[in-house]
Amino acid sequence: MTIQAKICGLSDVTAVEAAVLNGAAFVGFVFYGPSPRNITPDEAALLTAKVPSHVKKVGLFVDPDEKLIRDVLTTVSLDWIQLHGSESPERVREIRDTYSLPVIKAIKIDSAASLDEIARYDGVADMLLFDAKEPKSMKNALPGGNGLAFDWDLLANATISSPWMLAGGLTAENIAEAVRISGAKIVDTSSGVEFEPGRKNPAAIEAFMAAVAAIDA
Ligand SMILES: O=C(O)c1ccccc1NCC(=O)[C@H](O)[C@H](O)COP(=O)(O)O
């Protein structure tokens, strides 16, 4: 089975092209002011204009209000909404129903207890995404996209009904091990294919996609 990949936090044309040409199934765009990867709806419209329809365009939000979602969706044609904040199951359902788009809900993992969150969102979100919980000690931590991995073993025996993605600190070097341990069928990276936060490295995107393609799942 082929492993699908999402490249998240894209903010320039070269990186979008690298993701598409190297076989990404999803491309992600961040709409969250404090992030170094934040882009405006107009910038996103330009970046997404030439993305072929088989590559799904994901808009990432953190506890968004209606105005932000509307501003983005009236300017950019998105296929998925990713919610990476503290959105409740009720809020996930509301956003899904209001905007008629499928929703990816991020669940932050730092221990076995974090897996209790799965039951709250399974069957509510269309897809779950597991990312490392930002440590309180981390200076300038974002609510996601910190390049941190969590213990993939935690997912190996988890009961998850919804489709799900593995994220958090994934790179060309560790992706095979991460998939082997977690059992992920879809993987997501951002920091692992950057020169620095907010500046994607096309060669690293190519290397990540090659490493994903080489996985014998
Ligand atoms: O990327 C950001 O700046 C960001 C900001 C706020 C919430 C989430 C954010 N990113 C999440 C992602 O890019 C991915 O979905 C994924 O978690 C990748 O994380 P990583 O490879 O560890 O950077």
Nearest CA to ligand 1 atom 23: 145
DSSP codes of every residue in 55-114: SEEEEEESS--HHHHHHHHHHS--SEEEE-S---HHHHHHHHHHHT--EEEEEEESSGGG
pTM of the model: 0.96
Instruction: Report the alpha-carbon distance of residue 74 to residue 122 in Å, rounded.
Output: 29
User: Which sequence spans correspond to the domains of the chain?
Assistant: 4-213
Q: Which residues line ligand 1 (CB under 6 A)?
A: 8-9, 30, 32, 35, 37, 60, 62, 84, 129, 131, 142-148, 167-170, 188-192
Q: What is the CATH number of domain 4-213?
A: 3.20.20.70
Interval between CA 49 and ligand 1 midpoint (Å): 22
- What stretches of the chain adopt beta strand conformation (E)? 4-7, 26-30, 56-61, 80-83, 103-109, 127-132, 164-166, 186-189, 194-196, 199-200
Nearest CA to ligand 1 atom 3: 35
3-state SS, residue 119: helix
In a 13 Å sphere around the CA of 170, the CA atoms on its Cβ side amount to 32
pLDDT tens, position by position, for the chain (217 residues)?
699 999 999 999 999 999 999 999 999 999 999 999 999 999 999 999 989 999 999 999 999 999 999 999 999 999 999 999 999 999 999 999 999 999 999 999 999 999 999 999 999 999 999 999 988 888 888 998 899 999 999 999 899 999 999 999 999 999 999 999 999 999 999 999 999 999 999 999 999 999 999 997 6
Q: What pLDDT is stored for residue 157 in this prediction?
A: 83
Instruction: Report the alpha-carbon distance of residue 161 to residue 75 in Å, rounded.
Output: 33
Tokens of residue 28, six digits: 């992600």
Q: What pLDDT is stored for residue 217 in this prediction?
A: 63
Interval between CA 169 and ligand 1 midpoint (Å): 9
Q: What pLDDT is stored for residue 216 in this prediction?
A: 77
| Contacts for 42 with CB less than 8 Å, ≥ 6 apart | 75
